[in-house]
Structure 1
Amino acid sequence: MGTMPSDRKQPKKRSIMLKWSFANMLFCFLVFTTFVTISYQTSVLYFLDGEKNGLISVVDSVAKKLEMSSDKLTPDNIYKYLDYQEPTVLDNLYDEDGHVIKSAESVGIPGVGWRSFQVYDVSGQMIFTTQSASLPLANKKSTAPVIVTIDDQSGYITTRQIKSKKTGQVIGYLQSFNNLGFYYNIRNKLLFILIALEIVAMFLANFIGYFVSNHFLKPLSKLHAAMKKVTHSPSSEFEKVDIHSGDEIEELADVFNKMMYKTHDYIEGQERFVSDVSHELRTPLAVLDGHVNLLLRWGKDDPEQLKESLEASRQEIQKMSSMIQDMLDITRLKQSDEFKTEETVVVDSVTDLIHNMEMIHQSCHFDFEVKLDDPQAKAQIYQNHYIQALTILIDNAIKYSGEGESFVKVILSEDDKHIITSVADRGMGICEEDQAHVFERFFRADKARNREIGGTGLGLSIIANIAHMYHGSVSVKSELGKGSVFTLVIPKAELK
């Protein structure tokens, strides 16, 4: 045999808060990674571009000074073309072959930002340097700055061929090497800082995301708990879920509450219907059973007894049919919302109904009084329901008017928000004690008298349900021996 669905092993479920925090962390990781990559690459390119442009600018500036010479550049005349006042300003250095190299390591070049420069004569022999390092001439042609590594040091190197503006002859060479060691150090630190910030931000986003999702999803957890409670014990008393988040979750809770109220009303209506049917049909069924048994024993052979039993059975069946129909009407009213937007012109409806009643009950005198400002005033109610309620009230008024000519008066009036329908009679009346219970199911005042009149005791309960469905009310004022006045209050139709 197969196992029930509830017995199957349920897959492990993950908390939506964990999912949200993980998704938030992943999102932040992607965003910060993109940000770090863009920031890092932009910073690198911006710094390198700045270094390159600065190097070109300074090299061009120094080259212009050297191009003013008409003689070939030598250690003895180099000072004049670099704006030094006298040759003694420069220090003397010597290479491995004993050649003199003028050094400006301690003074720099006047009017030029600090850079590393070397000047070479036409043979490529270094004759001037701004630092103690001795770099060979990389190229005897003018070159754009490129990054090279010299003695484990990376940097930009560029070369200028120096031509005299006066003679047009090559008089020497200028070379500059810009060490990028400081830049690489800053770049590595920047990368480390950005990665560290990304990791911190990622975990911080995860931490904040978890608590933020916990805060926003708490109403959803409350709704979930209520649903689980209903699932585990559907027949228990429903407790409204109060959520005031001001968002879709609050709307979802409102929908859930309305759905559960309708469900409970439906279940309650079905249970009450079954209970009422089993309770109220017990007596007529017992009567039917008694007559059937009587007929089976000897009554079928007695024409008079046969006729009496069949007539009594027919009456009991009519009572049961009427009672079941009334109970079904009440159940349908509670479960239906489709008519709540319908509108009814009350004067026309009451006029037609009284005309029909006059045809049926010709011994009854009807009086209809209208106290409405607008004869086309509308009530917010489905016309069939309005006529059904009014029919029950008029039928009761006629039934309980006593012997002789009946009198029924219908009055239509209004207030600011409601249409008020009153049905008055001059019948036997209802005692004050019973007035509080007349709208209950199967309640019947003066039961001995009611057995003679007939009825199911459900008519006024149907009216009460109709009034409740349309957010109205029904009430009674009565005095024994003087009659009763039933008042049905229904909201006016909204102006469009």
Structure 2
Amino acid sequence: MKKRVSLKWKWTIGASMAIFFTYTLFSVAIFMGFTQMMISQEHANVKDTLFAVSNKLKLEPTSLTNEKVTQTLQPNFPTTNDSTEVDSRFLIDDSSYDSIDTLYAKINEAGVVVRVFDPNSRLLYESRASHATFNKTAYTVIEPIKIDGKDGFSGTMPIMSSQNQNIIGYVQVTNELLRYHEMSNKIVLVMLTMGSLALIVSGVLGYLLAINFLKPIKLMTRTMNDVRQDTQSRSRMVVPDSNDELSDLTRLFNDMLDKMQKYIEQQKQFVEDVSHELRTPVAIMEGHLKLLNRWGKEDPVILDESLSASLQEIERMKSLVQEMLDLSRAEQVEIHYKHEKTNVKNMIHQTFNNFSMIHPDFVFNLDDDVDEDVNVQIYRNHFEQILIILLDNAVKYSTDRKEIHISVAQDDYAIQIAIQDFGEGIGQGDLQKIFNRFYRIDKARSRDKGGNGLGLAIAKELLDGYQGTISVESVLNHGTIFRISLPILKEN
């Protein structure tokens, strides 16, 4: 079995490595930039030392000697034998002291070796012992070398006499780059220390980020466990105020649970309703069959009555089952029919003509103010079913005044349909209940008219699924008006 690794630790390691990699990348870039700057500075120092020594020695008209070079490159001024007068060749003003001190500092800098050669490559002066190779050159050359396995610089240039431009010697400067190596080592040490600290900090930060990001998932898991243990649980995730992808995910998750619970409740309600409504016809049929089994089959009158009643109950059961299936489908229109559309004018005129034909004893009036090309997002058969349910009820519950009015209007957003009859009407106490399943104002009268109390429930479920509405107004013994509204489908 594959070992389980928590997403929290995966996220922690990933975030830590990302932060640490970013830190390392920037640190390496800064280190390389800094070392390159130091290398350039050391290169410039070698070049400056070469020119400084050359400028001091080029005053000689002839080839250099050990004594001349030593005297020139020393910071102390030689005097005459009586120690009271300075050699006239070294009489300089006060401003030259700084240049001599600077040159002396360059020559005696740690890791720097200055050597002077005559034109025949004979060593005349050496600031300290060195094993660097010397090669004569006609121009200034500064090149990288290895000194005891470490990087260094070696620079060589000819010394040209300022009087006759002849080569009177050569100067070589070797720099072991001690300051560069020392500073580089310190920087590497600091980077390693800071890198270790950065790794720890990035680990802690990654862990905190992982906890923060995974908190909604933990809540989601907890909520799912609650629902798994109790399908009727109302446990839901709290939508965060962050208004980001996590809040969107939380809303979708809650919506999914709401829909799932709604479907579970619908299934449960469906089973309960079917069980309840089928109990009566089954009991009636059972009673007649037992009657026939005992002695009724010998009596033609009882036999005929029992068979007729049983067949009537079977027909009612078939009607009930069909209506229950219609109701179940109505609850799922968002899944199966969300892309359907229907032309309002055509459907209403077709239904109006059908009812006018099958009920010639009724007067149907149609007031139509809808444009030809107006569509609503609803499956055609469902739209027709809603109209048939409302018109069928209007016909069933009409009394002496057999007149039904249908009016259709539109605004910028919705289609408004009103169906009015002048029949029995509905009492105020029943208006809020007529859309409930199996609710009948007068059960005996409803059964006589062939109703199971599901028509209006089906119509409401269908309209809810298509984001429509239905309402009712009624006055007892004066008639009823049903109003439905459906949003107009905006064509792109």
Q: What TM-score, normalized to structure 2? A: 0.81
Partner amino acid, structure 1, of 2:251: D
- What displacement does 1:291 show? 1.8
Specify which of 7, 13, 16 is matched with residue 25 of structure 1: 16
In structure 2, the partner of 1:436 is 432
In terms of mean alpha carbon deviation, does 468-477 or 74-83 score higher? 74-83
1:169-213 deviations in whole A, cap 9, x for unaligned?
985553434353333322221221222222222222223333334
Tell me, yes or no, if structure 1 residue 384 matches structure 2 residue 381. yes
| Separation (CA, whole Å) in 2 of partners of 1:160 and 1:377 | 95
**Tell me, what secondary structure is at the counterpart of 1:433?**
coil
**Whole-Å Cα distance in 1 between the matches of residues 36 and 444 of structure 2?**
105
Task: Give the corresponding residue for 1:97.
Answer: none
SS in 1 for 2:378: coil
Could you say what secondary structure the match of 2:331 adopts? helix
Aligned to 1:245: 242
**Unaligned runs of at least 5 residues, structure 1:** 1-8, 90-101
Query: Once the two structures are superposed, what CA deviation does each residue of 1:62-114 show, in whole Å capped at 9, x if it has no partner?
Result: 3465456453423554479779997439xxxxxxxxxxxx9xxx987488584
State how far apart, in whole Å, the 2-side matches of 1:365 and 1:450 are: 23
Give the 3 Å change call, closer, same or farther, for CA 149–252 of structure 1 in structure 2.
closer
Q: What amino acid sits opposite 2:188 in the alignment?
A: L
What secondary structure does 1:386 align onto?
Answer: helix
Equivalent position of 1:14 in the other structure: 6
Offset of residue 432 of structure 1 = 2.0
Between 1:172-181 and 1:329-338, the stretch displaced more is 172-181
2:352 pairs, out of 351, 354, 379, with 354
Contact in 1 for aligned 2:422/2:479 (Cα 8 Å): yes
Are 2:363 and 1:365 aligned? yes
Return the alpha-carbon distance in structure 2 between the equivalents of residues 137 and 308 of structure 1.
131
Displacement of 1:486? 2.0
415, 419, 422: which is aligned to 1:423? Answer: 419
Partners of 2:398 and 2:424 within 8 A in 1: yes
Matched-pair contact (CA < 8 Å) for 2:220–2:237 = no
Counterpart secondary structure, 1:423: strand
- Greater Cα offset, 273-282 or 411-420: 411-420
Distance 1:419 1:136, change over 3 A: closer
Alignment correspondent of 2:110: none
Give the count of matched residue pairs. 468
User: In the alignment, is the contact (CA less than 8 A) between 2:121 and 2:136 conserved in 1?
Assistant: no
SS in 1 for 2:329: helix
Say if 1:478 and 1:121 are closer, same or farther in 2 by CA, change over 3 A.
closer
Mapped to 2, the partners of 1:42 and 1:259 lie a distance apart of 55
Note if 1:48 corresponds to 2:45.
no
Counterpart CA distance in 1 for 2:396 and 2:409 is 25
Using the TM superposition, give the Cα deviation of residue 457 of structure 1 relative to its aligned residue in structure 2, in angstroms: 0.9
Question: For 1:41-190, what aligned pairs fall within 5 Å after superposition?
Answer: 41-60=32-51, 62-63=53-54, 66=57, 69-78=60-69, 87-88=78-79, 109=100, 112=103, 114-116=105-107, 117-119=114-116, 128=125, 133=128, 139=134, 141=136, 147=145, 156-158=153-155, 174-178=171-175, 180-190=177-187
**Distance (Å, rounded) in 2 between the aligned partners of 1:163 and 1:140:** 17
Residue identity (%): 33
| Aligned mate of 1:274, from 257, 271, 275 | 271
Q: CA separation in 2, counterparts of 1:351 and 1:137?
A: 109
**Aligned residue among 473, 478, 482 for 2:474:** 478
**In the TM superposition, what is the alpha-carbon distance from 1:323 to its structure 2 partner?**
0.9
Question: Displacement, 1:385?
Answer: 1.6
* Residues 176 and 421 of structure 1, relative CA distance in 2, 3 Å threshold: closer
8 Å CA contact 1:425, 1:484 repeated in 2 = yes
Q: Name the SS for the 2:430 alignment partner.
A: helix
TM-score normalised by the chain length of structure 1: 0.80
Point out 4+ residue stretches in structure 1 off by more than 6 angstroms: 79-86, 122-126, 163-170
Residue identity in the other structure for 1:350? I
Of residues 459, 463, 487, the one that matches 1:491 is 487
**Residue identity matched to 1:407:** E
Give 1:95's aligned residue: none
455-464 or 47-56, which deviates more: 47-56
Q: 2:395 aligns with which of 386, 395, 398?
A: 398
Q: Which amino acid aligns with 2:17?
A: L
Q: Secondary structure at the match of 1:27?
A: helix
Question: Which of 290, 300, 307 matches 2:304?
Answer: 307
Shift of 1:161: 6.6
Between the aligned partners of 1:476 and 1:126, the Cα distance in structure 2 is 119
Cα deviation, 1:21-49, whole Å, max 9, x if unaligned, reads 32222223333334444443444344234
- Name the CA distance, whole Å, in 2 between partners of 1:83 and 1:303: 150
In the alignment, what sits opposite 1:212?
209
Distance 2:118 2:165 in 1: 15
Equivalent position SS for 2:242: coil
Deviation larger for 324-333 or 246-255: 246-255
1:461 maps to a residue whose letter is A
Q: Is the 8 A contact 2:425 2:480 kept in 1?
A: yes
Counterpart Cα distance in 2 of 1:416 and 1:162: 97
> Matches of residues 281-292 of structure 1 in structure 2 within 5 Å?
281-292=278-289
Query: RMSD of the alignment, in Å?
Result: 3.8
CA distance in 1, matches of 2:448, 2:402: 17
Q: Deviation of residue 456 (structure 1)?
A: 0.6
- Measure the CA separation in 2 of the matches of 1:158 and 1:147: 10
- CA separation of 1:329/1:81 partners in 2, compared to 1, >3 Å: closer, same or farther? same
1:449 and 2:445 aligned: yes
Q: Is the 8 A contact 2:49 2:173 kept in 1?
A: no
Q: Which amino acid aligns with 1:247?
A: D
Structure 2 stretches of 5 or more lacking a match? 81-89, 91-96, 108-113
